[in-house]
């Protein structure tokens, strides 16, 4: 158990809909990272927050947005969903900003299926 | 931003030593090298990190030559439970994070 929690575990929705994925980082961690992993693909970095502020942006679509709240939990919002958005979405946290230096602790993921 | 190249897949047998190499020709001075392990439908898990020479922990060793343009993750005496995807990550912590496609290791009895 990494200490990072993600809800929901599974999500099935229709094209055009909007969903929100939630992540609670490990106690004491200030950074949160979001990744997308499509079937048999590598991890695609989406976005990183540190103590409520956006720190780095990866290949995140304009239809996707995220935020980190004062209690440090984070939400990833996906709108106008398309079939190609079906994937595993992982959240990770680290003690400080810098995911290539500080150990990232990954949550169990949210499996999103768009039908 | 350092780009990494790893073999797509490797096969091994139980009890053997496995070495997975990652190439990162444009590694920067401040970059660290980190390896993660991922089992199907689970989040990746940190294995080991290094900057230069050799680092060893209870599960693996990481060898980094003097020019740092590559690194080798060494798993001693693998077991079936080591079947997973292994990712090499290179960066200084202030860049976009690129995990690459990883190396799929299959350990057979």
Q: Determine the pLDDT at residue B93.
A: 63
Distance from the A36 Cα atom to the nearest Cα atom in chain B, whole angstroms: 11
B28 contacts B94 by C-beta, under 8 angstroms: no
Q: Tell me the pLDDT tens digit for each residue of B44-79.
A: 999 999 999 899 999 999 999 999 999 999 999 999
Q: Which residues of A touch B (CB under 8 A)?
A: 2, 4, 33, 35, 41-43, 45, 48, 56-58, 88, 90, 92, 97-109, 111
Q: Determine the pLDDT at residue A32.
A: 95
The verdict on a CB contact (< 8 Å) between A58 and B97 is yes
Distance of CA A5 to the CA centre of its chain: 11
pLDDT band at A62 (very low <50, low <70, confident <90, very high): very high
Using CA atoms, how far apart are residues A43 and A100, in angstroms rounded to an integer? 14
Q: Which residue has the tokens 């900003």?
A: A97
Q: Determine the pLDDT at residue A41.
A: 77
pLDDT band at B108 (very low <50, low <70, confident <90, very high): very high
Mean pLDDT score, A7-28: 97
Task: For residue A79, give both structure tokens.
Answer: 């709108």
CA atoms in the 13 A half-sphere facing the CB of B60 = 23
Task: For residue B99, list chain A residues with Cβ-Cβ distance below 8 A.
Answer: 35, 42-43, 45
Q: What is the DSSP-derived secondary structure letter of residue B89?
A: E
Q: Determine the pLDDT at residue B90.
A: 87
Q: What contacts B91, CB < 8 A, 6 or more positions away? A: A99, A100, A101, B1, B2, B31, B32, B97, B98
A78 DSSP β-pair partners: A19, A64
The verdict on a CB contact (< 8 Å) between A104 and B46 is yes
B62 DSSP β-pair partners: B55, B73
Task: Give the rounded percent of residues in chain A with a pLDDT score beyond 70.
Answer: 99
* Ranges A71-80, B3-12, B94-103: which has the least confidence: B94-103
Res B1 pLDDT > 60: no
Mean pLDDT score, A33-46: 88
Res A18 pLDDT > 90: yes
Q: How many CB pairs under 8 A join A and B?
A: 74
Mean pLDDT score, A9-26: 98
Q: Determine the pLDDT at residue B31.
A: 87
Nearest to A102 among B93, B96, B98 (CB): B93
Task: For residue A86, give both structure tokens.
Answer: 């079906």
Task: Give the rounded percent of residues in chain B with a pLDDT score beyond 70.
Answer: 94
């Amino acid at each position: 158990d990494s200490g990072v929690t993600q809800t929901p575990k599974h999500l099935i929705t229709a094209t055009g809909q909007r969903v929100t994925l939630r992540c609670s980082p490990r106690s004491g961690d200030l950074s949160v990272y979001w990744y997308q992993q499509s079937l048999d693909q590598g991890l695609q970095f989406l976005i990183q927050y540190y103590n409520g502020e956006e720190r780095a942006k990866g290949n995140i679509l304009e239809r996707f947005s995220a935020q980190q709240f004062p209690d440090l939990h984070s939400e990833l919002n996906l709108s106008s969903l398309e079939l190609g958005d079906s994937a595993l979405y992982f959240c990770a946290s680290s003690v400080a900003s810098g995911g290539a230096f500080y150990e990232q602790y990954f949550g169990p993921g949210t499996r999103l299926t768009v039908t | 931003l350092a780009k990494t190249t790893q073999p797509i897949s490797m096969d091994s047998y139980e009890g053997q030593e496995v070495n997975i190499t990652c190439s990162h020709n444009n590694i920067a001075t401040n970059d660290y090298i980190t390896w993660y392990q991922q089992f199907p439908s689970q989040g990746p898990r940190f294995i080991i990190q290094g900057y230069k020479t050799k680092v060893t922990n209870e599960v693996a060793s990481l060898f980094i030559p003097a020019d740092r343009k590559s690194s080798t993750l060494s798993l001693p005496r693998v077991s079936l439970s080591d079947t997973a995807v292994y990712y090499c990550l290179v960066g200084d912590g202030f860049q976009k994070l690129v995990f690459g496609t990883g190396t799929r290791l299959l350990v057979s009895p």
